[in-house]
Structure 1
Amino acid sequence: MNKSELIEQISNRSGLPLASSRKALEAVVETISAALASGDRVQLVGFGTFKVTARAAREGRNPQTGAVINIPATKTPSFTAGAELKKNVNN
């Protein structure tokens, strides 16, 4: 499902016009992104939790030359599925 199809489904299920459904989806995505950027976590009970995890700096190898390279520390977004989502996926 792509973004347009998701907006269409939101519109069908909520009864909102497509334009309002698009604005609602974009507002949710922007709010989650802003919360993660500030270091907060977003927990939607039953659906899951969005959070930022830290990756430590480490050494890697160039697969072509075998040379050792330094990979810097980074932060990455992650998602952990909630119980209801897991249940729905497995049924």
Structure 2
Amino acid sequence: MANITKTDLVKNVAQKTEMSKKDVAIVLDGLTEEIMNEVAKKNKVQLIGFGTFEAHHRNARKGRNPQSGEEIEIPATEVPVFKAGKAFKESVKN
């Protein structure tokens, strides 16, 4: 199992689309920035077949400091969540 970096992704997409690596990097940066901006505004970003990006509320809860064992209060927060679409799930499954 290998890790794919952004550089690898840009190179692979450039080869498939016959676009320059520079242009693919610009598109990828724009895409990821737009997804982050929309999710930060609590909007759902849905790419049919690929998946959905959205923000979820995580309630405040009690936790423990792993070093001291002391009980601590973990504040409520918003976290980004990705849910894979049907086509994505099927491609991983096979």
Instruction: Name the TM-score, length of structure 1 as normaliser.
Output: 0.95
Moved over 2 A (4+): 63-66
Cα separation, 2, equivalents of 1:70 and 1:60: 6
Alignment match, 1:87: 90
Cα separation, 2, equivalents of 1:67 and 1:4: 43
Alignment match, 1:51: 54
Cα separation, 2, equivalents of 1:89 and 1:61: 36
Shift of residue 22 of structure 1? 0.5
Alignment match, 1:4: 7
SS, match of residue 49 in structure 2: coil
State the number of aligned residues. 91
Shift of residue 83 of structure 1? 0.4
Cα separation, 1, equivalents of 2:91 and 2:35: 23
Alignment match, 1:66: 69
Cα separation, 1, equivalents of 2:22 and 2:7: 11
Unaligned runs of 5+ in 1: none
Alignment match, 1:36: 39
Which amino acid is 2:66 matched to? P
Which amino acid is 1:55 matched to? R
Cα separation, 1, equivalents of 2:25 and 2:14: 9
Shift of residue 90 of structure 1? 1.2
Q: Deviations over 1:44-84 (max 9, x none)?
A: 00000000011000111123322211100011101000000
Unaligned runs of 5+ in 2: none
Cα separation, 1, equivalents of 2:23 and 2:13: 10
